[in-house]
Each structure stands twice: as C-alpha cells, then as structure tokens.
Amino acid sequence: MVRHLERAGYIKTDPVRQAMMDVRREDFMPESMRYASYADRPQDIGQGQTISAPHMVAIMVEAMRAKEGQR
C-alpha cells in the first residue's frame, strides 16, 4: 500500500512514509473488516463512522507537516 501511495504521489516525505508503515490500520477496524484494512477506500468502522482511505490519510498527514515525535 505504501509503495502504491508513493508511486501515485500521495506520499512525498520520509516521515509520512514511516508513519504510514508504522501505524497498523487493522487496529482501528472491526475484526470482521480487517481483511480490507489496506484497500485504498474509506472503510465502515461501525457506529456510522468510517476510517479514511489511505490516500486521504497520506494527503492530510503531508499537509500537517508534522515534525518527528509529534502525535
């Protein structure tokens, strides 16, 4: 998934690349939906909520210009 997002131009910096590698999307999804954790589309996580598509997460994190150690 990360390589795909890099090739598509969504991931531009090493810190964002590393963050996308380190955070396990399946930890934020119901067990029944974990098979789709890395599909590049929003996923229903229950209670009328969704987890953003990976490319949108990359866009948002790149836009934050977060520094190392920030959470």
The DSSP code for 30 is -
Contact (Cβ atoms closer than 8 angstroms) between residue 11 and residue 2: yes
Cα angle at 23 between 3 and 42, to 5 degrees? 75
Q: Which helix (H) or strand (E) holds 65?
A: none
Residues belonging to the active site: 52
